[in-house]
Amino acid sequence: MPEVLATRRVHFCAAHRLFRADWTDERNAEVFGECANPNWHGHNYELDVTVRGPIDPETGFVMDLKGLKETLEERVVADVDHRNLNTEVGWLEGLNPSTENFVVAIWDRVAGSLPRGVRLARIVLHETPRHSVEYRGPSEESDA
């Protein structure tokens, strides 16, 4: 049975601040620039989640993308939409919520919630129209 990649996009808005508490304000500003603003800043995020699996002969789907949307809404969007990523999202606690750290945390939230035989292939998190990061999961890390 051929394997196919299928992608669903969701949208959410969230605020964050990039900083390290063990650094001075000057060092945070030097490394993170305006993103270290102590009064936070926000983004209109776009999240593309791609799953991989065989085509179901009955439905013609890898998985019902409505089901993937519901999983993303429940496991990610409900927790982060219109929230402060530094202070209001328990599964980000202790992380500096850079886009890179955030996309890995999202992977961890979604990976175990997919139907049998379907697995995550990649997640792309768009922080702005000009800035995005892509994560293809922990197996790729060991291949590098």
Q: List the domains of the chain with CATH numbers.
A: 3-143 (3.30.479.10)
Q: What is the pLDDT of residue 1?
A: 75
Percent of the chain with pLDDT over 90: 94
pLDDT band at 140 (very low <50, low <70, confident <90, very high): low
pLDDT tens digit sequence for 18-50: 999 999 999 999 999 999 999 999 999 999 999
Cβ within 8 Å of residue 106, ≥6 positions away:
47, 76, 123, 125
21 DSSP assignment: T
| Predicted structure pTM score | 0.92
pLDDT tens digit sequence for 47-91: 999 999 999 999 999 999 999 999 999 999 999 999 999 999 999
Query: Is the separation of the CB atoms in 111 and 94 below 8 Å?
Result: no
pLDDT tens digit sequence for 93-109: 999 999 999 999 999 99
Catalytic residues: 35, 82, 127
Q: What is the pLDDT of residue 139?
A: 72
